[in-house]
Structure 1
């Protein structure tokens, strides 16, 4: 992934962007396979996901693979005074010291479950081409003889992660980088590697590109046949696409296509995993089953399935002393995303020993405490007009229940004594309640406003919540 290094210090300070494209070109193409459609519905019910960027690079605390990419951008920086070629050679030796002896995927799964997340997306291979699973296509893998961890009974890390999370009822997502900077048929040693793209014209050397395509298909075949049920194939590296790559603000494009034959690869993967969601992110077209705005939240609901992917800290992978977002800001962003019809995928990078950073674990625990009380307003919900109004965000369930979720300001510790909730009206005679309490609240309609009175005792009992959810049974569900 491209680390934007955005520090979100307040709710929704994410940069605005085009709702029509959400980082992808062209119009969204709806899926027609009924098994995939059904899986997408299930995925939309999960709402809250857990992501991990992890690999040998975690030993250095650098930005995933990006420091070996020869581009003059912030996230590709290397130490001053060291030649690029020398740095890459040192980087490529990182697997020989990678020995995460404290790797405990069951603990990861417990932490993620306690946080209220319902699906996991794990980096099986990042752009540097190091495989966190037992691939037979490359020696650059966690189970290779020169990797100290290869003798560990849990050396096939992807298998262990998937099994541990699957045992806790999680949906399983395999992050997979389409570009592979370690593969000689992507970054050929015959030429320099000026940027993130493959370093030769695929039109002049079609045989070389075909070898890379075959390699990629074989790896996806392994992941979809040898690692149990997989729900999501989450493909990164959107510059690998069938059309030519135009120049962008991040890096010069290339004049040739990088077509990895998504139709054949998807057909093969879905033969192995019927109903598999395929996310060819930032490419658009029929193989991007949902779109993935990165490190940002749309201003308005999007007319297709989507997922904001965002870091808990500033970095996707482990960085010592990372700056972690507050639990309050994460909860409020989750609410805002869900109210607009999206999913929220929250990333934490394990350290070199295989442990989740203590500060991140504490944040996840705090988020989970809020979700235990308010999760019914999040899971299996869909958007409902007006989506947001002032401090309120709205979600709806299929039975007609609407939740108005109040997002307090930073210094606002108690729910107001009187709530004036615009929009959907509870059914006549409905019992309006605050989640976490059995008390029935007094309410009335005042024009288009639902006026709810909150007793002082209840305001005191729910002090310092990150957000408060009010259940409005039988409310209007059209949007």
Structure 2
């Protein structure tokens, strides 16, 4: 049964966590999350049906002059005759198999899974009592999130979910600017409701402010997800940092953390753009990262393609090596990688996505001992190439070389990952150079041996320039993992 806002507040009043940043600062990062390092994200919903450009199709098809606007009219007809809601009957998901998805994700080496429960378009991918516009009652007529939760737990992964409804306040508003189906009468619970004017730059103080009615509905929807599916982590997209959401995100966080404490499972909220006070959740960097290792644990989320989060027919895929470098770089800097995959509208996962995920899994099975459960070393790495830090500074834009190394520590050893071996038979780890009275090396201890992960012991020697290690690079120049065993 759906809880009212009054009931939510009453529960919080009796809990350990109150709706204040000071109280929410009691938050502790789940240990399993810090150990897991790698998760899978999926964007799948109505926006996938047209398979055109990206997941913002529902907004852009109503903006005159946009490619989606013209494509929609040419393909489906005018927006007053075939609106976004008319994709619902086409979203039948006839090939959707939750267990098959999770086999693929587990084989890729993922330790946790984040399906999107509701995107900006307002279509709920779960059973809901707050709106009839959900996948259980319409379209596939299946509780997608429920099936994915069951399959995730069955596969031994941690189940999490993401909610992007905050932006729905304005996401469908451009359909009011011309003749379209968004002129239909709207009330709470309707698909397009409220379709308010889109603010300039969607900034922190944009008007019109979301109303109490809308904010209450947002809070109740997320609490419904928490109660029904008990996710171990939540993720919110960027508009929750708006001033109007502040009391609501605090109330939601208090409720979620209190429920986790009551049911004895650790919880956490991933947030972007300072949407929450630091120390009350998990900082997330979209398509980016940090230049250096951080004293706090964090996450980067990026997609398997550079130009969309959902499946389209024009995806610009990353390479397996780019994805692996993204993972290694994040882990060396005390972070996790959440990699997004966009299933096709019919519920299948495209062959190219499966190929890339399989390559990541193959590499992790050989090199994962320095990734999973690892910690940052005294330095995160060395080399000429590094991300500058920040949102949308995707590592796929950079060219790495054989001198670009990232370090981790685990099992009493140091792990050095050569990001791009470039076919070389030897690499130099500068952190382990010979002792010099003028320049003491980063490491000044006793070494028992050196191994290449997946190969075994390898020849090495210490020189003034660094530890010279003989390696066996792969044909496709995958990153090479080197285990430095301490005496």
> Structure 1-normalised TM-score?
0.76
The equivalent residue for 1:436 is 454
**CA deviation digits over 1:205-258, x for unaligned, max 9?**
xxx82222222222222211211x42111011x233352xxxxxxxxxxxxx34
1:230 corresponds to 2:231: yes
Deviations 1:283-319 (A, max 9, x none): 2415762222212233223342221111111210110
Uncovered stretches (5+) of structure 1, i.e. residues with no partner: 1-27, 203-207, 244-256
Q: What corresponds to 2:158 in structure 1?
A: 171
Over the residues paired in the alignment, what is the CA RMSD in angstroms? 3.4
* Contact 2:46 2:87 (8 Å CA) reproduced: yes
Per-residue CA distance 1:392-421 (angstroms, 9 max, x = gap): 433333543111111225xx23x4236444
Query: 2-side partners of 1:85 and 1:195: how far apart?
Result: 27
Q: Secondary structure of 1:384's partner?
A: strand
User: Contact 1:408 / 1:467 at 8 angstroms: preserved in 2?
Assistant: yes
Distance 1:396 1:131 in 2: 40
1:115·1:364 contact (CA, 8 Å) conserved in 2? yes
Residue number in structure 2 paired with 1:114: 107
Conserved in 2, the CA contact under 8 Å of 1:297 and 1:337? yes
Residues 259 and 74 (structure 1), Cα distance of their counterparts in 2 relative to 1, 3 Å cut:
farther
The Cα shift of 1:77 comes to: 4.5
Q: Distance in 2 between matches of 1:296 and 1:45?
A: 20
Q: CA deviation digits over 1:54-105, x for unaligned, max 9?
A: 0011111142245426997998852269599926961122112210011011
1:58 to 2:32 alignment: no
From 467, 470, 480, the equivalent of 1:450 is 467
In the alignment, the residues of structure 1 paired with residue 130 and residue 279 of structure 2 have an alpha-carbon distance, to the nearest angstrom, of 24
Match of 2:38 among 17, 42, 48: 48
Structure-1 residue corresponding to 2:252: 265
Which is further off, 362-371 or 321-330?
Answer: 321-330
Deviation for aligned residue 1:447: 4.6
CA 451–58 in structure 1, closer or farther in 2 if over 3 Å, else same? same
339, 344, 351: which one aligns with 1:358? 351
- How do residues 5-404 of structure 1 correspond to structure 2 at under 5 angstroms? 32-33=25-26, 36-39=27-30, 41-62=31-52, 63-68=54-59, 77-79=68-70, 86=79, 90-144=83-137, 147-150=138-141, 155-179=142-166, 180-181=168-169, 184=187, 192=197, 201-202=208-209, 209-227=211-229, 229-236=230-237, 238-241=238-241, 243=243, 257-259=244-246, 261-274=248-261, 275-282=266-273, 283-286=275-278, 289-313=281-305, 314-390=307-383, 391-404=403-416
1-side partners of 2:123 and 2:206: how far apart?
19
Flag the 1:373–1:88 CA change in 2: closer, same or farther, 3 A.
farther
Q: Which residue of 2 aligns with 1:470?
A: 482
Instruction: Show the counterpart of 2:431.
Output: 422
Cα distance in 2 for partners of 1:422, 1:74 equals 55
3-state SS of 1:86 partner? coil
Mapped to 2, the partners of 1:306 and 1:76 lie a distance apart of 36
CA distance in 1, matches of 2:320, 2:133: 37
Q: Which has the higher helix share?
A: 2
Whole-Å Cα distance in 2 between the matches of residues 281 and 76 of structure 1?
29
> Hey, what's the Cα distance between the residues in 1 that align with 2:219 and 2:103?
33
Larger RCO (CA under 8 A, 6+ residues apart): 1
TM-score, normalised relative to structure 2: 0.75
Supply the distance in 1 between the matched residues of 2:227 and 2:36 (Cα, whole angstroms).
24
Q: Decide whether aligned partners of structure 1 residues 389 and 134 sit closer, same or farther in structure 2, where only a CA change above 3 A counts.
A: same
Tell which deviates more after alignment, 344-353 or 172-181: 172-181
| 3-state SS of paired residue (2:458) | strand
Q: Which residue of 2 aligns with 1:23?
A: none
Q: 1:264 to 1:374 in 2, by over 3 A?
A: same
In the alignment, is the contact (CA less than 8 A) between 1:126 and 1:176 conserved in 2?
A: yes
User: Distance in 1 between the 2:407 and 2:95 partners?
Assistant: 40
- SS of residue paired to 2:208: coil
Q: Which secondary structure state, in structure 1, belongs to the residue aligned with residue 135 of structure 2?
A: coil
User: CA offsets, 1:244-284, max 9 Å, x none?
Assistant: xxxxxxxxxxxxx3445122211212222233101232224
Contact in 1 for aligned 2:412/2:486 (Cα 8 Å): yes
* Equivalent residues, number: 410
Q: 1:435 to 1:234 in 2, by over 3 A?
A: same
1:185 shift after superposition? 5.8
Distance 1:398 1:31 in 2: 31
Report if the CA contact (8 A) 2:61-2:72 is conserved: no
Q: 1:73 to 1:430 in 2, by over 3 A?
A: farther
Structure 1 SS opposite 2:163: strand
Residue aligned with 1:387, SS = strand
The SS at the match of 2:234 is: strand
Instruction: Map 1:401-412 onto structure 2 (within 5 A).
Output: 401-408=413-420, 412=422
Structure 2 Cα separation of the partners of residues 190 and 465 of structure 1: 49
